[in-house]
Amino acid sequence: MALIALAADKGAPGVTTAAIALGAVWPRPVLVAECDQAGGDLVYRLPAEGGGMLNPSRGLLSLAATARRGLRPDQIPEHAQRLVGGLDVLAGVTNAEQAQALTWLWAPLGRCFASLHPVDVLADCGRLGAGSPLNDLLREADMIVLLTRASLEQVAHLRERIGVLTSAESRTRAPIGVVVIADPRDYRGSIAEVERIVAQASLPATVLGGFAYDPKGAELLRGQWGGRLDKSLLIRSARELAGGLLGRLPVRAALPVDVRVTSDPARPRAPLAQPAPPAPSERGR
Report pLDDT digits (tens) over 83-110.
988 899 999 998 888 888 888 999 999 9
What is the radius of gyration, based on Cα positions, of the chain? Answer: 18
Q: Is the pLDDT of residue 163 over 80?
A: yes
The whole-angstrom distance between residue 52's C-alpha and the CA centroid of its chain comes to: 23
Task: Tell me the one-letter amino acid at 82.
Answer: R
The per-residue pLDDT for 221 is 81
The per-residue pLDDT for 227 is 57
Neighbouring residues of 117: CB distance < 8 A, sequence distance ≥ 6: 1, 73, 257
Q: What DSSP string describes 151-168? A: SHHHHHHHHHHHHHHTST
Backbone angles phi, psi at 143, to 5 degrees: -155, 145
One of 3.40.50.620, 1.20.58.1610, 3.40.50.300, 3.30.70.890 is the CATH number of 3-247, namely: 3.40.50.300
Residue 170, Cβ neighbours under 10 Å: how many?
A: 14
Q: Return the axis-axis angle of helices 233-247 and 215-222, rounded to nearest 10°.
A: 90
Report pLDDT digits (tens) over 185-224.
999 999 999 999 999 999 999 999 999 999 888 888 876 5
Q: How confident is the model at residue 263 (pLDDT cuts 50, 70, 90)?
A: very low
Q: Is the pLDDT of residue 10 over 80?
A: no
Q: Is the pLDDT of residue 253 over 70?
A: no
Any idea where the domains of the chain sit in the sequence?
Answer: 3-247
Half-sphere exposure of 23 (CA within 13 A, CB side): 36
